[in-house]
Amino acid sequence: MSHRRKPASEITPEYEDSGLFKSKVGQLAVELVPQMSRNSRNDLVVRGFANRTTEIEVAFAGRRVKEAGPLEARLNALMNKRIREAKALGEKAPDIDHVRLPVLIEGAWRPRFRRDQTGWETRSYYLFAARWSILDNEGNSVSFGSPPLVVMSGQPKSDAPKQSGMQ
């Protein structure tokens, strides 16, 4: 199998976004938990919940990974705070699924297929984040990322009207 990735020097923001945002971009309020990993492309993948119960994975990919540092730090700080609080009360560490950070994400869904132990492929979805907002320590909304420069499927470019919540 040949290596199909372009060298990093040849990847423009437009090219990157055309690969990431192949479907309609929308906004979704999610709750992220402090369970993070990196995939083979060094994208940050964070587990979270949509509608409080539906488990999802959110990917911060490409040039947007650099802007995800404050989000990573916020999730780690939230987990450490909950662990200290539990320790002070003499309780066990909190279940990671109950340590949640609300985040407003503008992004696009991408399918993902996984093979289970029996050989069947199951379909799940990544939410690829273009822009996201979190509350800082003072309760002010802070936004990161940038609107997609190119969106496939006939959607207009980034000159489309801004949606509320992201500025």
End-to-end Cα spacing for the chain: 43
Q: What angle do CA 41, 123, 104 make, to 5 degrees?
A: 65
What is the structure's pLDDT at 162?
40
Q: Where does 10-150 show beta strands of DSSP type E?
A: 26-38, 44-50, 54-60, 101-115, 121-135, 141-145
Return the percentage of the chain with pLDDT > 90, whole number: 56
pTM, rounded to two decimals? 0.81
What is the structure's pLDDT at 118?
87
CATH match of 8-145 with 3.40.50.720: no
What is the structure's pLDDT at 57?
95
CA distance 73 to 77: 6
Q: Which residues contact 100 (CB under 8 A, 6 or more apart)?
A: 31, 32, 33, 48, 49
Average pLDDT, the chain: 86
Instruction: Sketch the domain layout of the chain as residue ranges.
Output: 8-145
Residue, of 68 and 120, whose pLDDT is higher: 68
